[in-house]
Structure 1
């Protein structure tokens, strides 16, 4: 299951980065400045802070699994596995915010804390 999750999130993140690159090229061709493109990324694609939080929470899940009886991966192994998870989680939250600002905090907590913790436990801890 962990291998399927790793491949799925890696594929999903690669697809998101590819589509984001196309969006950036389109914005630049339409005359947008680099600051406007950065704002677009933070607002509609994936905020760097949200990616960071999801990766840290996934890492905490990995270490929690190690305390319970799994294997603890080092940072050099865990972060490359968890980074695509962070990209996908941040994208989901940014898209929800772009569509509708009225999502409760609980939805963001599930997307950025609960899901990465559980998936970090499965993907790198066991």
Structure 2
């Protein structure tokens, strides 16, 4: 379970730090980002990554999956751009991987419990 939590935390924190750094130090635009860009990034990327950080720490795979799906549209759009923002797609992929690992671990542990109950 530790690898799943680690993937979730790394995906969330890495995505947040990377996005904050490049939003405010954008090599393609001089000055701070416009308010509409901040609003759209907050709703479609920052919020899912913050919730994903909580979900990975508290072992909630469904919430991790929701956060990954929630942030995929923006990151897939940015993946098609030639700039540095294309690397933001790594975070939802890590969240998805963490959720899948957590689901498998949970299913495996439930199977072991039910097998032990039958004996």
Q: Quick check: TM above 0.5?
A: no
TM-score w.r.t. length of structure 1 = 0.42
